[in-house]
Amino acid sequence: MNGAGASDLVLALVCGWLVATRMARQPGLGLAALLIGVAALLGVLRFGGVDLVTGPHRFASMLSAVAAFPLLAWALRWPDDPIASRFAGAARAVLLLGGIGVTATLTGLIGWGAAVSALSAGVIMVTMVQQRNPVGIAGAGALIIAMAAAAAGKAAPFNSTVILHLGLAAALALLARDLKQRSIASLGADV
Is residue 98 close enough to count as binding another protein by CB under 8 A? Answer: yes
* Region binding another protein by CB under 8 A among candidate stretches 19-27, 79-87, 115-123, 176-184: 79-87
For residue 157, which amino acid is it?
Answer: P
For residue 26, which amino acid is it?
Answer: Q
Q: Which residues contact 165 (CB under 8 A, 6 or more apart)?
A: 4, 7, 8, 10, 11, 40, 43, 146
Is residue 33 close enough to count as binding another protein by CB under 8 A? Answer: no
CA distance 52 to 141: 34
CA distance 77 to 97: 17
CB of 58 to another protein, least distance (A): 6
* Region binding another protein by CB under 8 A among candidate stretches 33-41, 51-59, 118-126, 127-135: 51-59
With beta carbons less than 8 A apart as the criterion, state whether 44 and 9 touch. yes
Q: Which residues contact 133 (CB under 8 A, 6 or more apart)?
A: 178
Is residue 111 close enough to count as binding another protein by CB under 8 A? Answer: no
Cβ proximity to another protein, 20 vs 88, nearer residue = 88
* Region binding another protein by CB under 8 A among candidate stretches 20-28, 101-109, 120-128, 159-167: 101-109
CA distance 97 to 142: 24
Is residue 101 close enough to count as binding another protein by CB under 8 A? Answer: no
User: Which residues are near another protein by CB under 8 A?
Assistant: 52-53, 55-56, 58-59, 78, 81-83, 86, 88-89, 92-93, 95-96, 98-99, 102-103, 106-107
